Amino acid sequence: MLHELYVLTDSQIFPHAQWPDRVEKIITGGANVIQLRDKTLRNHELLEHAGKILEICRYYGVPLIINDRVSLAKKINADGVHIGKNDQTVRVARKYLGNKFIIGASCYRNLYSAVRAQTYGADYVAFGSVFPTTTKPRASRCSFATLSEAKKILQIPVCAIGGIGQKNIQPVIATGVDLVAVSDSVFNARDPQQAATKLAQPYIM
């Protein structure tokens, strides 16, 4: 079941060898879903790190989603994949992976794309960037109104992403989204466990 705080890894600051430890701290801090996102290594170079992170996620019962790399997700038997604009289509990924894998799709601010992804078998869709973000500084912006409308017309979970942190998470939650995805504000935090806990608190108050 996908819900609540969704944390993505980030290649900007910490070396890959430190990722498993940071992921574990983030999970114990309150993250409900982890996404392994990396734009620097090839699949075979990322394989060892992905395996270690998967072991941690399995231990805590938290789904591990692999960004872009459908073949890697299948190879390590991750819980799912996330499909971006320039990646394989949801329909192709579903055919390749079968029905047991979670498939998420980036829809940016396009409700039509979200409906289409749902039709083709996506398990959740992501909208963003909600706020300016250092991870994707050129990303287009997605309004709160789009998030609210997505919740009305879709039957699958809706995820908000982009520039979200402790200071601005409340209005995002108010739109009714099922997941709030973050990267820099948690993964690159000095204390990732504490950062995850602070962001997870609005869900349990």
CATH number at residue 115: 3.20.20.70
pLDDT at res. 1: 39
Amino acid at 193: Q
pLDDT at res. 48: 96
Q: 137 lies in which domain range?
A: 4-204
Number of domains within the chain = 1
If you ran DSSP here, which 8-state letter would residue 139 be given? P
User: How many Cβ atoms from other residues are within 10 Å of residue 138's Cβ?
Assistant: 6
> Helix, strand, coil proportions of the chain in percent (round to 5)?
45, 20, 40
Cα–Cα distance between 196 and 179 in angstroms, integer? Answer: 14
8 Å CB contact between 163 and 129: yes
Diameter of the chain measured on Cα atoms: 42
Cα–Cα distance between 117 and 62 in angstroms, integer? Answer: 24
Q: State phi, psi for 93 to the nearest 5 degrees.
A: -65, -40
pLDDT at res. 178: 96
pLDDT at res. 202: 58
The residues of the chain scoring below 70 in pLDDT are 1-3, 202-205
Token reading at 150: 């997505």
Q: Give CB contacts under 8 A, 24+ apart, made by 70-74.
A: 70/96, 70/97, 71/43, 72/43, 72/46, 72/47, 73/97, 73/101, 74/101
pLDDT at res. 203: 53
Predicted TM-score (pTM) of the model is 0.94
Cα–Cα distance between 202 and 50 in angstroms, integer? Answer: 30
Inter-CA distances, 148 with 103, 156, 160, 172, 178, Å: 22, 13, 11, 10, 11
